[in-house]
Amino acid sequence: MELRKLKLKEQYRADEDDIISDFLIPCLNNCIEYDRAVEFVTLSGLTTLSLGFHNSTPNARMRLISGHQFGIKDLNIMKKLFSKNGNGWKNFNPELIRDVKLDQIRRLANDGNLMLKIGIPSSEDIDGTFSEKMGIFRDANGDSVVFSGTASVMFAKKSTNFETIDVFTSWDDKTRVETKIRDFERLWSDETSSVKVYDFEYAERNNLLKYSAEWAVNPN
């Protein structure tokens, strides 16, 4: 499992590349940590990510920071998936438990290997929602691959968006990678000005999460 051995391009573009097969899945299968700051998270995206990590190390960890808007169905299920005491799952629809992909998310969350936080702008100078777009893969050797671009937690297989991502590696662009890693860590620790970052459960308990019809029909 070595990111350095992958043949990565500096850019992946929807008209030339299969961003999932050519970039995301190989990086997921060769990392032990995946960090993502993104405008929105969907249940479909999380299930796809969980399958990517299924072939990775059993202790692989994902940390996600998302904006606070969710599709109605997604948010109702995610409230149960990310209940820290796991009690939300006990009253869950038994038909959903049979969904292998959904159960993979539940197990990752319960084991502490899938963590979700919510970013909400806290300044009058910022209009709209949290919309940072970056991702970071790390392997057991200490190498990192960083990408910027795309608004969803996961590149959709049937996305209607035209997507482009830029890629940087710790062995070819160390300074830029270190800057992105530092930026993410500041977000995760709620040390970024103009943005407040909350644990998902805290945000849900304090009514900070919002339903969005737009994300409810988004294919990502």
Task: Kindly report, residue by residue over 164-189, the tens digit of the pLDDT.
Answer: 899 999 999 999 999 999 999 999 99
Q: How confident is the model at residue 99 (pLDDT cuts 50, 70, 90)?
A: low
Answer yes or no: is pLDDT of 114 > 60: yes
Q: Which pLDDT value is given to residue 175?
A: 96
The CATH number for 95's domain is: 3.30.870.10
Q: How confident is the model at residue 136 (pLDDT cuts 50, 70, 90)?
A: very high
State both tokens at 54. Answer: 């299924």
Q: How far is CA 143 from the centre of its chain?
A: 19
Answer yes or no: is pLDDT of 26 > 60: yes
The string of pLDDT tens digits covering residues 74-91 is: 888 888 888 665 444 444
Residue 146 lies in domain: 3-216
Answer yes or no: is pLDDT of 92 > 60: no
The whole-angstrom separation of Cα 35 and Cα 132 is: 12
pTM: 0.84
More confident residue, 49 or 116: 116
The string of pLDDT tens digits covering residues 37-79 is: 988 888 888 887 776 665 566 678 999 999 998 888 888 888 8
What's the total number of domains in the chain?
1
More confident residue, 74 or 124: 74
